[in-house]
Amino acid sequence: MSDSLLRLDKVNLSIHETPILHDVSLQVHAGSVLGIIGESGSGKSMTAFSILQLLPQGAVCSGNIHFDGMQINNLSEEQLCHIRGNEIGMVFQEPMTALNPVQNIGAQVAECIALHKSVSRSQALTQAAAVLERVGLPNNEFPLTRYPHELSGGQRQRVVIAIAVALEPKLLIADEPTTALDVTTQAEILALLKQLVVESDMAMMLITHDLAVVSEVADNLVIMRDGRVLDHGPTRTVFNELKHPYTRALYDASSHTPERNASIEQVVPLVELTDLVCEYPMARRSLFEPRKMFRAVNQVSLSIFSGESVGLVGESGCGKSTLAKALLGLSPIVSGRIMLRGEQVHSGVKVSNKVRREMQVVFQDPYSSFNPRHRVGRLIAEPLHLLENQPDKHQRVKLIRVTLESVGLDGEDANKYIHEFSGGQRQRIAIARALIIKPALIILDEAVSALDVSVRAQVLDLLAELSDSHELAYLFISHDLSVVRSITDRVLVMKQGQIVERGDTDSVFISPEHNYTKTLLAAAPQLPQSNAEASRI
Amino acid sequence: MRLRSFILGALLVLIFFSAALISYVWTPFDITQIDIKLRFKSPDFTYWLGTDHYGRDMLSMLMIGARTSIAVAIVAVGIGMLFGVPLGLAAAAYRGRFLDEAIMRGNDLVFAFPALLIAIMITAVYGPGALNAIIAIGIFNIPVFARLSRGAALSLWKRDFILAARAAGKGVTRISFEHILPNIANLLIVQGTIQFSLGILAEAGLSFVGLGTQPPIPSWGRMLADSQTLIYTEPQLALFPGLAILLTVLGLNLLGDGLRDWLDPRLRHER
Amino acid sequence: MLHYIFKRTLILLATLFVASLVVFVTIEVVPGDPASYMLGLNAQEDTVAALRAELGLDKSRPARYWTWLSGLVTGDFGTSYTYRTPVADMVGDRLWVSLPLAIYALVLATLIAFPAGVYAASRRGGITDTVVMALTQLGVAIPNFWFAMLLVLLFAIKLGWFSAGGFPGWDAGVWQAMKSLTLPAIALALPQASILTRVMRSSLLDVLNEDFIRTARAKGLSRRQALWKHALRNAMVPVLTIMGLQFSFLLAGAIIIENVFFLPGLGRLIFQSIASRDLIVVESVVMILVLAVVLVTFAIDLAYAWVDPRLRGSR
């Protein structure tokens, strides 16, 4: 096609002889947005890096890459430097580490301008100020002398975007630009990117794992897996037809709702929190001032019945993880009361093992949740420490096997080390560790947030099945509204340490009352309805 | 390339360790026998490395010197680990609290006294001796290991598996030994070899200026000090003890680098 | 920023105070009486008593500590037991040998290590990198006093370019003085330069893997520009730490090296004082060396804040 701004033709890439990309072909039209979707390891980021030839050491790239009517993959390093930042801008996933921590933001934006245009330093800074203004960082609030550590994640991402669009490039490559951000910030950044694309008639390549994010922005889609392009076409067509089986699987997994048949008819709640307050000390600003305390959880009350799944939703820093730690007795509480089955168990600092036996936890990061030096059997048996009568060796081995099997793993896995398992399997092991002492409540702290959608769907199914078979209650903490909606009976919305809204999941999602809940729901990207899906039902 | 230098390091360390061990049961000549007639012999088939100003066999002297160097360095590193690692673990477990602050300030204080100054102070009080060197180098090793283990332990305390262990009701001490220590063991081994080599250099330096091992016990630093006055006439006497120190330290450093590459899974993935 | 400097200053003063206490207590536990040692076995009781009074040894330990400490602050280090001259004078002369030597060595080490480290990092895996790394392995392993002897053997005895030792004094001219410090400075500097080169290289390589380097490259900076403009300053923090630690090694090393070259520095002074049990001189010299180390640590702490804005605190 003649009007394509960027065209990749059978691009192959290998790093240290490991093949990464296989015959990747795609194109981006001038002024349009191409979404590239894939799970981890699909090669979507490497596709982006090979366009600018910003590849790790040992990478070998072949094939043709045409940009603006010119083949660019065989250009000299000097010629590539001229294109980078000038004609193609790039935005990265991690705003926290994407900026130089020892340079102020003005210098970092101005550097890009001064590099490609013959302007004086002060002119470059004036232009940098204008660009920062354009990406929503007005100079009176965010002077050029600010350093990255003085900005929030969303604000840093705006600086990265400012660097990328400073010279009004023809193409903007955004690699998971919102993945590390909260929902409302994500919505703002997406809106900003859309606005910039329209304003300066720029093309954009948006790389993401999130179908819903891309469906709102992209004109065309490319779906990748294991370094290959599996499906492509206009966004609407791809979603409507779900032609390729993998596209359909992704779509299904993204909107997956596990089947549950919970029945809750109790008078006494399993766990009841009343007016819970947690604080932690802030960094000292001056030697002479007393340390200020930050109130992370402010007068929170909630109750969970046995067998029930309760969602706790909020953005980062709202206090939801502190609340979970307080409940587990890992974080001190300032005031308030925790009752277990109608008995007061916690008013001071220490929690008894009797309480801990009833509550276990699964964390977000499947990689840091396990001691890499212990075998799986020892890992999942750790909570047995809480039992008054320690099981003998034989019972222990049996218990480990049964628990592993109940989360869908093999009893033999007990002898392996944790690095032999994938992320999804590790979360199963984490669930097994929580399950082994048969607790009444499991706190799931962002337990599926780090997983790919297809794996996430499987883990959600497992959780639903276990809650039915073991009469388990869940406190499901997450920032991801669609997941919370799919697995919880009741939901609480938390903001700045307080619960601002609570109610049945469906009614809160359908008719939210508090403004913050409305903002959250509006900000959450929606998966479009698919005709293929509709016709199947 | 990396593997080759690792093997070279291991080989050098092996040679000097075995020389030290063999010297307990056998040396080519008896070094307590002084025979001035035999002094300043050049290397030949009888005296492989020649003889010194008392007519003692250099090879035998070097073998027994290896014993001194290695013993001093091992004990000094042991002292550093024995005190430093628990201090570092405790500081990390109670991070930000008074104990942590006290341990870290104590570390800063010791860092203000280079090992040589400690040795000088001890010598000023108790007179010179090999024990000085051990204590001085050992004290200086404590903050090294304390800082290393605190730093590594701090990053481990942030990991979720520690939270999981706490949720399983385990206390600070138990977590430190069950979860933290095995995970920093590799780092400690690697640092141990580095401190070992620094210990050999430090012992040689202290003996050279007369603050360490005292005659008649042979030590490499002492041998160099003796050769210094004879450097105009018999420069070869300075050659072998210096080479012995250089090669032992080099071997230990290569071994340490190799161990780090091999033990650090992060680096292994990169290759 | 002020808060940071204030806190560092407090730590500096506290460290010095505790260090003085440690030095005093350690050395004062020494058995025996300096006065009777100085006068020999046959001295009269009242002569010894008079000398004790003159040296201030008849006072209680806390009182003597206080006299010593307040003297240190005002620059009065007391009177040498052996030479009966003010310690401050003895130390002052020697300091003008030891301090220039340590600084000379530090400058040499830095001048060698920075280019070598940056060059090796920017050409990682190349032949130059391999050669530089192999040389630094040797440099780290070589004992500096042996290296000093080898330098004497080659440049003084064989080639005769330098004198084998001694110091003509600064009165003989800066050129002559510097010349006689050159071999000692090289002997001190080379092992330190090797360590610094390795730290510089590995720190740079770590930083070059950071995300913000990718951002810089995406702006259109070449690999070399990204290294100079973005990586170098970020890589400085570990390098500064090592330079701070090295200064104390250099001072300690200087004491040994002064012995090889017969330089009239603090090192020679301290060994003579130990031999003659002139404890007040030992105490003072140790304290001066500790002061130097602590001041350098303080300067390094300030340099951190200059390099890394995150340490300056929010405005």
Q: Give me the percent of chain A exceeding a pLDDT of 90.
A: 40
Same domain? For A357 and A398 the reply is: yes
Same domain? For A237 and A289 the reply is: no
CA-based nearest distance B223→chain A, Å: 46
Residue B30 has pLDDT above 90, yes or no: no
Q: How far apart are CA C183 and CA A332, in angstroms?
A: 62
Interface check for C137 against chain B (CB to CB < 8 A): the answer is: yes
Residue A173 has pLDDT above 90, yes or no: yes
Same domain? For A360 and A397 the reply is: yes
**Least CB-CB distance to C234: which of A100, A285, A287?**
A100
- Closest residue by Cα to residue B263 from B158, B192, B185, B194: B185
Cβ pair B253:C150 closer than 8 A: no
Q: Both ends of chain B: CA-CA distance in Å?
A: 13
CA distances for A318 relative to A63, A322, A485, B176, angstroms: 48, 9, 19, 30
- What's residue A1's pLDDT? 45
Residues from chain C contacting residue A151 (CB–CB below 8 Å) = none
Same domain? For A368 and A495 the reply is: yes
Residue A297 has pLDDT above 50, yes or no: yes
Asked whether B167 and A330 are in contact (CB, 8 A), the reply is yes
Same domain? For A245 and A309 the reply is: no
Residue C157 has pLDDT above 50, yes or no: yes
**Least CB-CB distance to B159: which of A368, A382, A386?**
A368
Can you give the CATH number for the domain in which A395 is found? 3.40.50.300
**Least CB-CB distance to B167: which of A356, A365, A368?**
A356
Residue A531 lies in a domain: no
Interface check for A371 against chain B (CB to CB < 8 A): the answer is: yes
Q: Taking the CA atoms of A101, A107, A108 and A111 in sequence, report the sign of the dihedral they define.
A: negative
Same domain? For A71 and A163 the reply is: yes
Q: How far apart are CA A183 and CA A213, in angstroms?
A: 11
Interface check for A94 against chain C (CB to CB < 8 A): the answer is: yes
* CATH superfamily of domain region C91-311: MetI-like (1.10.3720.10)
- What's residue B264's pLDDT? 64
Residue A259 lies in a domain: no
Q: Give the count of beta carbons closer than 10 Å to the beta carbon of residue C132.
A: 21
CA-based nearest distance A84→chain C, Å: 4
Cβ pair B182:A360 closer than 8 A: no
- A329 to chain B: closest CA residue: B167
Residues from chain A contacting residue B183 (CB–CB below 8 Å) = 371-373
Residue A264 lies in a domain: no
- A85 to chain C: closest CA residue: C219
Reported as a single tens digit per residue, the pLDDT across A110-148 is 999 999 988 999 999 999 999 999 999 998 889 999 999
The CB-based long-range contact list for B33-41 (8 Å cut-off, 24+ gap) reads: B40/B234, B40/B237
- What's residue C39's pLDDT? 67
Residues from chain B contacting residue C289 (CB–CB below 8 Å) = 114, 117
Residue A287 has pLDDT above 60, yes or no: no
In this structure, of A222-236, B2-16, B164-178, C33-47, the range with the lowest mean pLDDT score is C33-47
Tokens standing for residue C125:
């895996």
- What's residue C197's pLDDT? 93
Residue with structure tokens 């980021």? A45
Cβ pair C217:A84 closer than 8 A: yes
Cβ pair A92:C211 closer than 8 A: yes
Interface check for A282 against chain B (CB to CB < 8 A): the answer is: no
Residue C124 has pLDDT above 90, yes or no: no
Residue C264 has pLDDT above 80, yes or no: yes
Reported as a single tens digit per residue, the pLDDT across A18-29 is 899 999 999 999
- What's residue A343's pLDDT? 80
Cβ pair B161:A356 closer than 8 A: no
- What's residue C273's pLDDT? 84
Whether omega before B216 lies within 30 degrees of 0, making that bond cis, reads yes
- B185 to chain A: closest CA residue: A373
Residue A343 lies in a domain: yes
- B232 to chain C: closest CA residue: C157
Same domain? For A356 and A312 the reply is: yes
- What's residue B174's pLDDT? 92
* pLDDT top residue among A17 and C59: A17
How distant is the alpha carbon of residue C92 from its chain centre?
16
Same domain? For A234 and A301 the reply is: no
Mutate to test the interface with B, among A321, A368, A371 (most CBs of B within 10 A): A371
* pLDDT top residue among B38 and A431: A431
Asked whether C218 and A85 are in contact (CB, 8 A), the reply is yes
Residue A534 lies in a domain: no
Confidence class of residue A286 from pLDDT cuts 50, 70 and 90? low
- C20 to chain B: closest CA residue: B109
Cβ pair A81:C6 closer than 8 A: no
Q: Taking the CA atoms of A451, A455, A456 and A462 in sequence, report the sign of the dihedral they define.
A: negative
Residue B175 has pLDDT above 90, yes or no: yes
- What's residue B59's pLDDT? 82
Same domain? For A362 and A467 the reply is: yes
* pLDDT top residue among C114 and A264: C114
What mean pLDDT comes out for the span A311-320? 88
Residue ending a domain, among A222, A254, A286, is: A254
Same domain? For A494 and A385 the reply is: yes
CA distances for A155 relative to A48, A149, A188, A191, A366, angstroms: 23, 10, 11, 14, 28
- What's residue C186's pLDDT? 92
| DSSP per position, A180-193 | TS-HHHHHHHHHHH
Which residue stretches of chain B are H helix?
A: 2-25, 58-93, 98-111, 115-126, 130-157, 160-167, 172-175, 181-208, 220-228, 236-263, 265-270
Residues from chain A contacting residue B161 (CB–CB below 8 Å) = 368-371
Confidence class of residue B265 from pLDDT cuts 50, 70 and 90? low
Q: Give the count of beta carbons closer than 10 Å to the beta carbon of residue C71.
A: 17
Residue A306 has pLDDT above 50, yes or no: yes
Same domain? For A400 and A464 the reply is: yes
Residues from chain C contacting residue B246 (CB–CB below 8 Å) = 138, 141-143, 146
Residues from chain B contacting residue A430 (CB–CB below 8 Å) = 164
Domain boundaries, chain C: 35-76, 91-311
Residue A529 lies in a domain: no
- A372 to chain B: closest CA residue: B183
- What's residue A390's pLDDT? 84
Give the burial class of A510: count Cβ atoms within 10 A of its Cβ; 0-12 exposed, 13-18 middle, 19 or more buried: exposed
Interface check for C251 against chain B (CB to CB < 8 A): the answer is: yes
Residue B268 has pLDDT above 50, yes or no: no
Same domain? For A193 and A280 the reply is: no
Establish, for the pair of chains B and C, how many residue pairs have beta carbons separated by less than 8 Å.
123
CA-based nearest distance C130→chain A, Å: 17
What mean pLDDT comes out for the span A400-414? 90
Interface check for A97 against chain C (CB to CB < 8 A): the answer is: yes
Computed over every residue of chain B, the mean pLDDT equals 84
Q: Could you list the residue range(s) of the whole structural domain that residue A415 is in?
A: 271-524
What mean pLDDT comes out for the span C40-52? 74
CA-based nearest distance C210→chain B, Å: 15
Which residues, numbered 43 to 102 in chain C, qualify as contacts with chain B under a Cβ-Cβ cut-off of 8 Å?
Answer: none
Q: Chains meeting B at 3+ CB pairs closer than 8 A?
A: A, C
Residue A187 lies in a domain: yes
Tokens standing for residue B81:
């680990």
Reported as a single tens digit per residue, the pLDDT across B73-104 is 999 999 999 999 999 999 999 988 889 989 98
Say how many domains are in chain A. Answer: 2
Q: How far apart are CA C273 and CA C276, in angstroms?
A: 5
- B248 to chain C: closest CA residue: C141
- What's residue C30's pLDDT? 66
Residue A263 lies in a domain: no
What letter would DSSP give residue C154?
I
